[in-house]
Structure 1
């Protein structure tokens, strides 16, 4: 047994990676010894777009290593590195051809080892992106599986014979429609059967029902990297490993298509908790590795909790997507037909997944950006003027930094990076999903649908978050690469939005993020672990909530329990809004209440009764 494993206390009932969870008193968490990842700030790096060290137009691992001090200064505790394993790049690395090799433009295995060591030397940790619902068609496992029906790895993937209609026409085994605007079955000429793929046809699904396949996943994709010192994984599509094995047709809910949305056939399947518990027991817990799973198509908190209950010993935390999916038309046919929504609806989703862990041994996450969505300041803020862009980006930072759970930042979020300009054509959208949904709209012949799809892509598309990082407004390609041909076009606005311009400017988005993260850590008891209390739920202009925690209070020689409170007040509009009654909500006198932080300029103090300016946010406290 390695020293690293021997030094780790594995989880037991009521614990997670050896640490007791917080206890509860009247619905408010009491902080005890907590695992590091609960109060940590995670930072997602999209490697193709972060920093290119060798001028080939692709970001790489040495480029990331060169900027680790930037992340330390920002306040990052753990780097999440999006897929870097070898891949044909049909889906930007989410189609893995070799889990133990690195895609050459990104670097080498030795570069990952160096990155791990350099992170640890700076007091940071590193997690990798684990993609094990599916592989690439170029993976050796799949090549063997498709070579013959009697190959030992045939059952490592999901193969089914064809069906035939009354005219003898060949049909797929089911009518399921996948995530990239395509059917979920592809015909293979070699063995005359179909294989299942929930995503692109280049991404065949692994068969988690096969014991040998699961053990190979644990050994080749997890223990291999944990033995090299990485600290855990973000686990892709984690609730899709267990399919309903009767493989029945889905109901026809979209008569325009032969294939039909069918997430109920593959999400949260009958053996899913068995599989994830086994993954934790065999590969994660022995290393004390942190895990954050990607959950989709969840009905509600009661379905999420079993994945993150410490007693269940499955995952440490998960990403639940109901809030970040606001504006989409669903995950399948109309996904990119934009659906406007009210602020009250966003508030409802946030409150639901802030409070569902109270009274439980579960945990939650905080995020509003990632590699699969448009930029947060475009979606939730206001970019109509430079002033509103900056103010709303700071208010979004204030919002994220004061919510309960583990905070995840996406690269560029901290400087307020924005979506592609609207005059960029579809040719600038590189993502397979963007191209497929746009292509479907073109083939429909419906001009309005095509216009609506393009409008939706301009707001929601995955490509926006993948534009090269903007380091320097005075450098070629924003300092991302010296190449004349970066893999994606650099944003036209990079001279206005970049790290160099914002560094050291006390009024910048970047410096506000640094301040907000410092305050979050300084007052982790109330911001990271505090209970969330929703206020003014139906107000469509103001966003107000209370955070509170129990703290010991010494009075007359005895110790009792008091309340530490933080009142978050934000104006989510362009119009001036009346201030709330701060003293009443904090339940304290004027001498106890103080302004902890405001997004307003330094010359505006944010007094208790002062109106909220456009997109202004403030936090008042009673401590």
Structure 2
């Protein structure tokens, strides 16, 4: 049974390792990562110090959106393996005291799911109302128009005309991802049985819940405010994000399913920047989910209306966002997560550190120091532990695989008739915030295809795999990987103060992040240089008994921090 209280649940102190299965490890040489590759790598994951594995979607799918378009919740996409393989993986994880959580994608299905095939077969089909269908509008010239001006998150209208039944269906993402109608109780029960209980009864230890804030849509489907005069389609999240009914749906999900198992749940908040709304999801007393991923920090630099309209940011802005979400659970019964990378984000060392060869390793280690001292359950994304970087700037759009980036580039090309400067700006946006940066194959060694596969990988391997890979770093006691292992051990030693301590900054500057974590009588001081320059730094007199717990350079000097240097001290006051 799930113990709903504000005490020390097991998932609060753990370290999660996220796997993007297509790019992790290929065990059969077909160029596509698989369950066998995950099983083969469990000892590596355990040795790193992580003890929960989160698998991004592995379910049956046409792969229009890398598995986030599910055609059967109770089966596995064959290149990944079979249901039996997943059962073997669950057993292999548990044998190593590793828990495993799966992705729960239930805002939408694939248009190839049997539910949708039935829904679109006729207007009077019993499953018609399992999805969101609306009649066309017509303009003054009699031309057929979508029901409203909502924009899809993947470009263009959020409505797709379906010729056989002469209505539109809603898709907040790709047109092959029709949105489920969460107002239909029969649909909700089918989700609980097929997408959740089926796997929980096989022993999975929880879910990362995709797009948890957008299940409920304004039933009147009004037009969205016009924020982009250059497009007929407008960002409409004000009509479908964090609506009151959404909280009812998550409460029911918990009551009917989640509360029946001893599991962990983490919801994807997306651009939910109101901490009171976030708390409504993760407060123990609300009985919905255990924690969420806040994106206000990691979305810094993303365009406000169009994410690809990249906007440079300062450390000061980053620090303000970070502090906001470090402190929002202080004094209440909520919980949170700590992360800088996942499958939807560029690589953190390329964004917040430096991927220049002379600073790459030290800045990757500095970011690791920030993360392990961050409040909440710690999440690491595959390759982050070896400092994998963004795709090289020389790669063209043809090398990118993500439907979001490709649709965006194609939309710009179409709107500007291929204008060179517009396409250059579009490509610049993709290089800054594209999701494919995190999806290049895992760099296991300097062998062909980075040791990911003996066949041709589904996506090109990052060109720097000979310099940045697991095999090289396993043999190097000063590598980014070795440093991560040491830091995870340190986090476990100081788990009360690192994961549960209160947070406060000591400076408001634009170059250095210095903060104190407190838990009862314990104090930890963290100093992080986010620049390629030296900066003055000195311990206060009252901290003369400070003990240096970790540093990412060999010979730290008094009175200054070297470029990208980080230090963690325990202090007595």
> Once superposed, which parts of structure 1, at least 4 consecutive aligned residues long, lie more than 6 Å away?
none
**Equivalent residue for 1:373?**
345
**Equivalent residue for 2:77?**
103
- The 5 Å alignment of 1:168-247 reads 168-247=142-221
How far 1:171 sits from its partner (Å)? 0.9
**Equivalent residue for 1:481?**
453
**Equivalent residue for 1:466?**
439
Indicate conservation of the 8 Å contact 1:244/1:270, yes or no. Answer: no
Q: Report SS of the residue matched to 2:524.
A: strand
CA deviations over 1:168-216 (Å, ceiling 9, x no partner):
1111111100100121000001110000000000000000000000000
Check if 1:546 corresponds to 2:546.
no
Q: Report SS of the residue matched to 1:493.
A: helix
CA deviations over 1:435-490 (Å, ceiling 9, x no partner):
011112212324333212211211211011000000011x221110000x210011
Indicate conservation of the 8 Å contact 2:526/2:567, yes or no. Answer: yes
Indicate conservation of the 8 Å contact 1:364/1:405, yes or no. Answer: yes
Q: Report SS of the residue matched to 1:565.
A: strand
Q: Report SS of the residue matched to 1:194.
A: strand
Gapped regions of structure 1 (runs ≥ 5): 1-7, 9-16, 23-33, 551-562
Check if 1:302 corresponds to 2:272.
no
Indicate conservation of the 8 Å contact 1:338/1:452, yes or no. Answer: no
How far 1:432 sits from its partner (Å)? 0.2
Q: Which moved more, 1:95-104 or 1:485-494?
A: 485-494
**Equivalent residue for 2:471?**
500
How far 1:251 sits from its partner (Å)? 1.5
**Equivalent residue for 1:611?**
560
- The 5 Å alignment of 1:104-503 reads 104-330=78-304, 332=305, 334-384=306-356, 386-445=357-416, 446-473=419-446, 475-483=447-455, 485-503=456-474
How far 1:19 sits from its partner (Å)? 5.5
Gapped regions of structure 2 (runs ≥ 5): none
Q: Report SS of the residue matched to 1:143.
A: helix
**Equivalent residue for 2:32?**
58
CA distance in 2, matches of 1:450, 1:113: 46
CA deviations over 1:332-384 (Å, ceiling 9, x no partner):
5x321221001000000000000010110001110000001111000100112
Check if 1:511 corresponds to 2:485.
no
CA distance in 2, matches of 1:20, 1:167: 60
Q: Report SS of the residue matched to 1:512.
A: helix
TM-score, normalised with respect to structure 1: 0.90
Indicate conservation of the 8 Å contact 1:179/1:198, yes or no. Answer: yes
TM-score, normalised with respect to structure 2: 0.98
CA deviations over 1:562-612 (Å, ceiling 9, x no partner):
x210000011111110013x235xx44x2x3111100012xx1x35x3411
CA distance in 2, matches of 1:58, 1:123: 27
Q: Report SS of the residue matched to 1:166.
A: coil
CA distance in 1, matches of 2:154, 2:5: 41
Q: 2:537 aligns with which of 561, 564, 579?
A: 579
Indicate conservation of the 8 Å contact 1:263/1:297, yes or no. Answer: no
How far 1:289 sits from its partner (Å)? 2.0
Indicate conservation of the 8 Å contact 1:468/1:489, yes or no. Answer: yes
CA distance in 2, matches of 1:191, 1:444: 30
CA deviations over 1:39-70 (Å, ceiling 9, x no partner):
11011100000000000000000111000000
Check if 1:93 corresponds to 2:67.
yes
CA distance in 1, matches of 2:506, 2:153: 36
Q: Report SS of the residue matched to 2:16.
A: strand
CA distance in 2, matches of 1:387, 1:122: 38
Aligned length: 570
CA distance in 2, matches of 1:225, 1:129: 11
Check if 1:75 corresponds to 2:52.
no
CA distance in 2, matches of 1:504, 1:614: 25
